[in-house]
Amino acid sequence: MKTNKPKALYVHVPFCDVICAYCDFTRVVTHPKLIEDYLYALAQEVKLYPDIDFETIYLGGGTPSALNSDQLTTLFEILKDYSHQVKEYTMEVNPESLSIEKAELMVKYGVNRVSFGVQSFNQDELVFMHRAHTIDMIRNGIKILRDAGINNISIDLIYALPNQTLDKWEYNLNQALTLNIDHISLYALTIEENAEFGRLKIKPIESELEEQMYFTAIEFLKKHGFNRYEISNFTQSKPSMHNLHYWNYDDYIGLGPGAVSLYQHKRIENTKNLLYYSQFKFHGNIIDLSIEDEMFEFVMMGLRVRNGLSINRFKERFNQDIETIFESAITKGIYHKWLIIEDGYLKCTEDGYGLLHEILVEFMN
């Protein structure tokens, strides 16, 4: 089985000014001492992975933009040696914590793409989710980024909120177009047990309405020139290179508390405990992946993408034919018109895309 060099670097910055009610990621409220300890530990963890030329870097969280300018400078300096060959350098930014100074700092250190945490254009929905920004902050933030020279901007939108109607969702989609951005990610609200919504036992909306919102968005965005290149991601011309590394099942490195790496046939899960992380106890679980694990995950990730997965890449990586290993699942999928093989790629049909979970069960079996 072929071993690949990691192509993507993810850095988890676990700090937020305000904790969103739906969030179950590894995060804490910003505190100067905690941030100082985190940055010092990150500088040590970086030393575990020297001399790697990454193609993409992604700073996620948490909220990386919640760091002040001095803290951001330290973060960028820690990662500077990784950034020389990078083609795409993404940072997650929230409207309320962006400033002209931070945007200029991002550009100085090579950030050329921003994932902007919009979530909604309805102020009542933002308040319900405990988001700290206003609609004006969204529009002002986009201007700040563009004035600094960052034009590759993606926004996140959340749908299927309690009491959200189809009309309200369509309003959000229409408002998104007014920003003239190229990339939109859509996420259905998930009630996580350990998030505030979970503790409050907030009830999700009816699944039929959630599905209607999703397909309404697909048709709306298609009409306005957005290509759905992955289940939740739409672009006019610039798919996320970093996320494509995940979906292509390339090896990647994750740094920071709660981050995950896929490296040398292992899944390395960092501790989620910030105190342990700050004491250089970086790794929580290290899981050896069998060839069966990796072959299934290759399929699972690849079928999420509209273009599907490369049959030749599967052969190169595992030295086995995908049509032999998964003969039953592929034959059944093609028979039911859920799957097709086209130009050397195995991919979902339009009908199959909506049944991806059921299709993957067939591959798992």
Q: At residue 189, does pLDDT exceed 70?
A: yes
pLDDT number for residue 216: 97
Please state the separation of Cα 146 from the chain's center in Å: 22
What whole-number distance in Å separates Cα of residue 186 and Cα of residue 234? 8
CB neighbours of 213 closer than 8 A, spacing ≥ 6?
A: 159, 160, 164, 166, 169, 188
| Residue pair 110/149 in contact by the 8 Å Cβ criterion | no
What whole-number distance in Å separates Cα of residue 287 and Cα of residue 298? 16
Which two structure tokens, joined as six digits, stand for 329?
């699942």
Q: At residue 364, does pLDDT exceed 60?
A: yes
pLDDT number for residue 20: 53
Q: At residue 49, does pLDDT exceed 90?
A: yes
Average pLDDT over residues 37-44: 97
What whole-number distance in Å separates Cα of residue 332 and Cα of residue 20? 42
* Tens-digit pLDDT profile for residues 352-363: 988 999 999 999
* Tens-digit pLDDT profile for residues 128-139: 888 888 999 999
Q: At residue 205, does pLDDT exceed 90?
A: no
* Cβ-based neighbour number of residue 69 at 10 Å: 12
Burial call 215-250: b when 16+ CB within 10 Å, e when fewer: eebbebbeeeebebbbbebbbeeebbbbbbbbbbbb
* Tens-digit pLDDT profile for residues 172-183: 999 999 999 999
Burial class (CB in 10 A: 0-12, 13-18, 19+), 305: buried
Mean pLDDT (the chain) is 92
Q: At residue 17, does pLDDT exceed 90?
A: no
* Tens-digit pLDDT profile for residues 54-101: 999 999 988 999 999 999 999 999 999 998 889 999 999 999 999 999
Between residues 190 and 359, the one the model is more confident about: 359
Domain with CATH 3.20.20.70 in the chain: 8-246
Domain with CATH 1.10.10.920 in the chain: 291-365
Q: At residue 53, does pLDDT exceed 70?
A: yes
pLDDT band at residue 197 under the 50/70/90 scheme: low
* C-alpha closest to that of 145 among 122, 121, 117, 119: 117
The model carries a pTM of 0.93
Between residues 191 and 243, the one the model is more confident about: 243
pLDDT number for residue 170: 98
pLDDT number for residue 30: 72
| Fold of the CATH domain 8-246 | TIM Barrel (3.20.20)
Region 291-365: CATH code: 1.10.10.920
pLDDT band at residue 196 under the 50/70/90 scheme: low
Q: At residue 191, does pLDDT exceed 70?
A: no
